[in-house]
Amino acid sequence: MKRLLCAIIFLISGHVSAEIPSGESILKKVDANIGSDNKIVVSQMTIEGRRGTRTVKSKSWIQGREKSFTEYIAPAREKGTKMLKLDDQLWTYSPSTDRIIKISGHMLRQSVMGSDLSYEDMMEDPKLQNLYDAEVIGEDTLLGRPCWVLELTARKEGLAYHSRRIRVDKERFVVLREDRHAKSGKILKTTEVQEIIKVQNRWLPKSVVFKDVLKLGNGTRFVIESIEFDVSAPEHIFSKAALRK
């Protein structure tokens, strides 16, 4: 009887373990779902600040994790503002001043266009598996979708967020909610997906609300208007000279 009981317990525990994937395997699928060598994205941000609401529209050319070029195309006040990322360096160009500014050091923590996203957020490696160790700590349901709850812990010092708690769609491997924490455990920012879409056999967040909990206002709603994967971009666009063109 004792042997039989032990065998039953072993079979049950083995069955449970087989049903719960590792945190690392989940992150790999999340990264694979959104990653690509090249993509072009047209998007808009609606910023609900303490002084009112405004929307800015942009077009971005992205090449792997190393290069990206963004041009703001609306409203008229922001039109022509550009941003260039090459590896771990970032520059912005403002047509009103005709100046190119390198964003570095403490400036990386500044808000992009008054939004709830910082330059540091935009510079971060998009592959979570490169930055964090992951552990599955539970399950949840968001947008009517069953999710895994993962606790992410930074692999090295100096990251903008020491830990994150994310909820990942079990089937589509899209992050539906995220809480980003300081080393003290205090929540710094949250993201919450409102709508997802399928593009070229990938499930992606179409509408996401970012909220910097240290700022006043109701957050920033980021909406993808169009996205193309695995498309080529002219190489000359990834240069400082392109900022003034």
pTM: 0.86
Domain carrying residue 240 = 22-244
4, part of any domain = no
pLDDT band (50, 70, 90) for residue 11: very low
What HEC string does 201-229 produce? CEEEEEEEEEEECCCCCCEEEEEEEEEEE
17, part of any domain = no
pLDDT band (50, 70, 90) for residue 61: very high
* CATH, residue 102: 2.50.20.10
Q: Looking at the 3D structure of the chain, how many domains does it have?
A: 1
**Mean pLDDT value of segment 183-212:** 95
CB contact at 8 A, 128 and 180: no
Kindly state the percentage of the chain with pLDDT values over 70: 92
215, part of any domain = yes
17 pLDDT more than 50: no
CA distances from 40 to 12, 36, 50, 141 (A): 47, 11, 32, 31
